[in-house]
Amino acid sequence: MTAPDAPARLHTPEALAFHLERLAALDERLALAIARAGEVAVRQTPRGFEGIARIVCGQQLSVASARAIWNRIEALGATTPQIYLGLDEPTLRATGLSRGKYETIRGVALAAIEKDLDFDAIEEMAAEKAIATLTRLKGVGPWTAEIYLLFCAGHPDVFPAGDLALQKAVEHAFSLSARPAAKELIALAEPWSPHRGAAAVMFWRYFAAMKNANNWEAL
């Protein structure tokens, strides 16, 4: 749960700065990582069906490839459950969606139409319950649910520990002997609660800075 005086959502630079300040005070390694990461910006994706559809669309793809596919979906107007369900599979698959992603997004659209999925209610749930609710949908795994909560709902205390970039960033920032597995990273991040969402955003920025440096030690 979020501390009483903490901003509820990571929707503004001020809220993000609040959480980053608290993280820096928790651990000097976090303070150094924040300094090395450089400017950390708020990342937001539309809420509801459009948001989760965009996340599914981008799974295991480069940013450029995911954007190209999503642009084609947008050109069809298929950013609402009703319009998505009104288009046939060949039309939607022609955008570049794999069959699995087409089916996953279709399942989300059906759940939204049939009122089996209430995005407003999900935003009011504790993270664990929200993740459990979203992952009941076929094709929606923990990573997808966590990314939705973090970037669409602005949840301040979600940390997608299964994300490879986060694992590599924490390994480097904390000078670990090996890249932590998801379970290890969950345990490592536990003391950062209720600011784990900001930690995730910061470590993604840290990873980008690390990749752009001449070498890892240049950071």
Residue 115 sits in the same domain as residue 27: no
200 domain residue, yes or no? yes
2 domain residue, yes or no? no
Residue 30 sits in the same domain as residue 120: no
Residue 69 contacts residue 97 (beta carbons within 8 Å): yes
Give residue 102's domain range: 48-152
Q: Locate tokens 């920032």: which residue?
A: 173
Give the DSSP letter string of 80-122: SHHHHHHS-HHHHHTTT--HHHHHHHHHHHHHHHTTS--HHHH
38 domain residue, yes or no? yes
pLDDT at 62: 87
User: What is the chain's pLDDT, residue by residue, as a tens digit (219 residues)?
Assistant: 444 455 568 989 999 999 999 999 999 999 999 999 999 988 888 999 999 999 999 988 888 999 999 999 999 999 999 999 999 999 999 999 999 999 999 999 999 999 999 999 998 898 899 999 999 999 999 999 999 999 999 999 999 999 999 999 999 999 999 999 999 999 999 999 999 999 999 999 999 998 876 555 544
Residue 74 sits in the same domain as residue 102: yes
CATH of the domain at 39: 1.10.1670.40
Residue 91 sits in the same domain as residue 142: yes
3 domain residue, yes or no? no
Residue 106 sits in the same domain as residue 164: no
pTM of the entire predicted model: 0.87
